[in-house]
Amino acid sequence: MFRKLTLTALLASASFLAVRADVVPSVPGPGVVYNSGATCRIEWDGDKDSNTVWKNMSIQLMTGSNFEMVHLTTVASGQDGTASGFFEHPCPAVTPFSAIYFYQFTSPLATEKTWTTRFTIASPTGATVPPANPTQPGTNAAIPWGVGALADPSTAVPPPAGVDASAPSGSVPGPSSVSSTDTVPATPTVTPINTPSIHPTNSATNTSASHSATPSTSANSTIGTSANNNAALGSATIDSRMWKVAIALGASTMTFALFM
């Protein structure tokens, strides 16, 4: 019983160590609509793995596809992502008013970026239009998207230093998604299929074995002909010897008769 509990504890510890913590955005979630000019609220679960990596967190308003993310403006910087928290800002005027916007979280010490799901920025009266594209380019994932812009680009705040919004390391879930840390598929690696080795039949060995087990017809024919020839030759030799003996006996009988 003790050994079983010890093993369970070790497995649990290994699983805990294998999990790498990051900031996990939680709001806005799927289906959230903020009106332009009203308050946009952002919430996150803090990084529980480090008290330094996400200490200086920035939040950017983004648009575009999963593979071509477009920075619109930086809405917050210097946020403490090592603890759960929230941030609010006035929702900007954008074009179009649609469900094609999301927030990106970055930190100078973090190797990964995280995102909220796509959410809607509507007009001050709540009017919206559907996203221009129903699926993601390249993957056909059913995550609607489009490319928006600030109505007044001059109000944009540049990305944080060292952040390249055009080279994402992940993908943004759609409005109907729950997870906010999906991974962008990398360039597919072609893994060769392990085809079982086929050992060729040793035809020379098998042919030799079959010949040893079953003599060929030509061999039997040769052996039989040789035996017949030898038998015929032996019979002719015996007949010749008997004829010579008979002649000799006949000659002796005639000689004996003359002397008599």
pLDDT, tens digit (0-9, with 9 covering 90-100), for 33-70: 999 999 999 999 999 999 999 999 999 999 999 999 99
pLDDT of 103 strictly over 80 = yes
Read off the tokens for 90: 């006035």
pLDDT of 162 strictly over 50 = yes
If phi > 0 it is left, if psi is from -120 to 50 it is alpha, else beta; for residue 31 that is left
Q: Which fold has domain 21-155?
A: Immunoglobulin-like (2.60.40)
pLDDT of 212 strictly over 80 = no
In the chain, domain spans: 21-155, 219-255
pLDDT given for residue 140 in this prediction: 94
CA distance 80 to 99: 28
DSSP-derived 3-state class of residue 61: strand
For strands 57-64 and 69-79, give the pairing.
antiparallel
Read off the tokens for 89: 């800002």
Provide, rounded to the nearest whole percent, the portion of the chain with pLDDT above 90.
53
pLDDT one-digit tens code per residue, 64-94: 999 999 999 999 999 999 999 999 999 999 9
Highest-pLDDT range among 36-40, 217-221, 224-228: 36-40
Mean residue pLDDT across the chain? 71
pLDDT given for residue 112 in this prediction: 93
**48 against 171, higher pLDDT:** 48
Please, which pLDDT band fits residue 195 given cuts at 50, 70 and 90? Answer: very low
Q: How many residues does the chain have?
A: 260
Read off the tokens for 231: 């038998």
DSSP H or E run through 71: strand 69-79
Please, which pLDDT band fits residue 173 given cuts at 50, 70 and 90? Answer: low
pLDDT given for residue 163 in this prediction: 75
- Tell which residue, 144, 137, 138, 141, has the closest CA to residue 30: 144
pLDDT given for residue 218 in this prediction: 37
pLDDT given for residue 191 in this prediction: 33
Looking up tokens 């061999």, which residue turns up? 219
pLDDT given for residue 21 in this prediction: 79
Provide, rounded to the nearest whole percent, the portion of the chain with pLDDT above 70.
55
Read off the tokens for 20: 């790498």
Please, which pLDDT band fits residue 128 given cuts at 50, 70 and 90? Answer: very high
